[in-house]
Structure formats: structure tokens, C-alpha cells
């Protein structure tokens, strides 16, 4: 599985802590972690939480990534931004129980975490425990188990509602503010990672044009 990490500008100083915790858990399980920034507070490309939503939408809908790990000060802004995009089902994760239940019940493709609120002593251990509850077990099994079929049905209904209420991602990209879009994809590693992994030629071509403009 390809996991994309995206860090919002106010929490860029913690980027290496989050990245290291994610790699420690995810990579031994056979996953690939792609860090799309921010990397430090001094990065030229500053990612706000609305931009995180745009990036998450691009990566999931192009199949350049299978899962998004992101966050901001409270985790709430990035969560809202991700869920505003087509095809994104993002959970707000604070502790390992949240991570386990989100994976088993909702089986989404993105999480947002608070990297300021409650981020204290041994915070990196909480991050690792959350990632273990997500990635060490098969998701979507239901909890409690006897409700697994009902939960799977509800996930399908929610997916259909999302498709009915959202434009396709290419239409979104063509419709939103183009300066905002260009800033969101101007990170240091975006072109290296995205174009090598994208499976959507039309989206890739459009973003190449945006970057060249």
C-alpha cells in the first residue's frame, strides 16, 4: 500500500517526528511511505489545511496513493478539508481506539490527527500505537463482528452519497482557484512522487499544465 503523509504549515516543525513514527510502523508491514511535505517550517511551499484537502483528493483519485495520513493543530481543519473532496473518507484520530474503530467500522482512506492539541510527552508513542491499530490488522472487519455486514452496507451507501454530491476530481481541479491549486502542488517532492505513481493520465496532464503556467 502507498501511504502519503501530508503535514500542515503550523505543525511543520513536528514533521520528522510524525514521519519517523509512521515509517517505523508502516514500512516493516510492506507499505511505502511518501512524504509530500511540509518538511520544515522554512519550506517555500506552505501547505494550509484547505490545500491538504486538495492534495489528498489528487492523490487518492489518481491512485498515486492508497491512504492519506495528515493533520494540523487540532486535526479538525485537515479532516474537514479532506472530506470535502470526492472519494475521500477521512477520520479524526486522537488515540489508538479511534484508529482501530475507524479502520474496522468506517474503513476510510485517510486520517487526520492533532499535532498541537494534546501533543505532549511521548506523543510519538501514541502516533505509533495509532498507526499499528490501522495498519497491522485487516480493516473493514466490523466491530462488533456481528455488525460487520450492516457496517459494510452503510459504507457503500455513504460512498454512493459522496458520488452523488461531488464532482469528479478533474472537474474540481479545473474549477477551483488555480493559484491555490498551483501552490498546493508546488512542494519539493510532489512532482517526483506524484507523476511516478499517478494512474490517471488526464489528471497528470492537467497538473503538468498548471505547474508550467
> pLDDT over 70 for what percent of the chain?
100
Q: Under DSSP, is residue 45 helix (H, G, I), strand (E, B) or coil?
A: coil
Domain ranges, ordered by start, for the chain: 2-212
With bands split at pLDDT 50, 70 and 90, how would you rate the model's confidence at 212?
very high
Average pLDDT over residues 88-108: 98
Q: Distances from the Cα of 148 to the Cαs of 151, 161, 162, in angstroms? A: 5, 20, 21
**For position 148, what pLDDT does the model report?**
92
For 158-199, the pLDDT digits (tens) are 999 999 999 999 999 999 999 999 999 999 999 999 999 999
Indicate the average pLDDT of the chain.
Answer: 97
Report the pLDDT value the prediction gives residue 19, as an integer from 0 to 100: 98
* Peptide bond preceding 192 in cis form (omega within 30 of 0): no
Q: pLDDT band for position 3 (50/70/90)?
A: very high
pLDDT confidence of 107, banded at 50, 70, 90? Answer: very high
pLDDT of residue 10: 97
- At residue 202, the pLDDT reads 98
Quickly name the fold that domain 2-212 has. Ribose 5-phosphate Isomerase B; Chain: A, (3.40.1400)
Sequence-ordered list of residues with C-beta below 8 angstroms from that of 56, at least 6 positions apart, any chain: 4, 6, 68, 70, 81, 82, 85, 88, 90, 110
Task: Give the mean model confidence (pLDDT) for residues 71-96.
Answer: 98
pLDDT > 90: percent of the chain:
99
Residues 10-60 have pLDDT tens digits of 999 999 999 999 999 999 999 999 999 999 999 999 999 999 999 999 999
pLDDT at 164: 96
Amino acid at each position: 500500500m502507498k501511504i502519503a503523509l501530508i503535514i500542515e504549515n503550523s505543525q511543520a516543525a513536528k514533521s520528522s517526528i510524525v514521519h519517523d513514527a509512521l515509517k517505523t510502523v508502516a514500512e516493516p508491514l510492506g507499505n511505502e511511505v511518501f512524504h509530500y511535505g511540509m518538511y520544515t517550517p522554512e519550506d517555500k511551499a506552505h501547505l494550509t489545511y484547505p490545500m491538504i484537502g486538495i492534495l489528498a483528493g489528487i492523490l487518492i483519485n489518481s491512485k498515486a496513493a492508497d491512504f492519506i495520513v495528515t493533520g494540523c493543530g487540532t486535526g479538525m481543519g485537515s479532516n474537514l478539508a479532506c472530506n470535502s473532496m470526492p472519494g475521500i473518507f477521512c477520520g479524526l484520530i486522537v488515540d489508538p481506539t479511534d484508529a482501530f474503530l475507524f479502520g474496522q467500522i468506517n474503513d476510510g482512506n485517510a486520517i487526520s490527527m492533532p499535532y498541537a492539541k494534546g501533543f505532549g510527552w511521548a506523543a510519538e508513542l501514541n502516533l505509533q500505537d495509532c498507526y499499528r491499530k490501522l495498519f497491522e490488522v485487516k480493516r473493514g472487519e466490523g466491530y462488533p463482528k456481528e455488525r460487520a455486514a450492516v457496517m459494510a452496507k452503510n459504507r457503500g451507501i455513504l460512498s454512493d452519497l459522496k458520488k452523488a454530491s461531488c464532482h469528479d476530481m478533474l472537474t474540481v481541479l479545473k474549477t477551483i482557484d488555480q493559484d491555490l491549486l498551483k501552490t498546493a502542488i508546488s512542494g519539493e517532492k510532489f512532482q517526483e512522487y506524484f507523476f511516478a505513481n499517478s494512474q490517471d493520465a488526464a489528471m497528470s496532464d492537467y497538473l503538468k499544465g498548471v505547474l508550467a503556467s
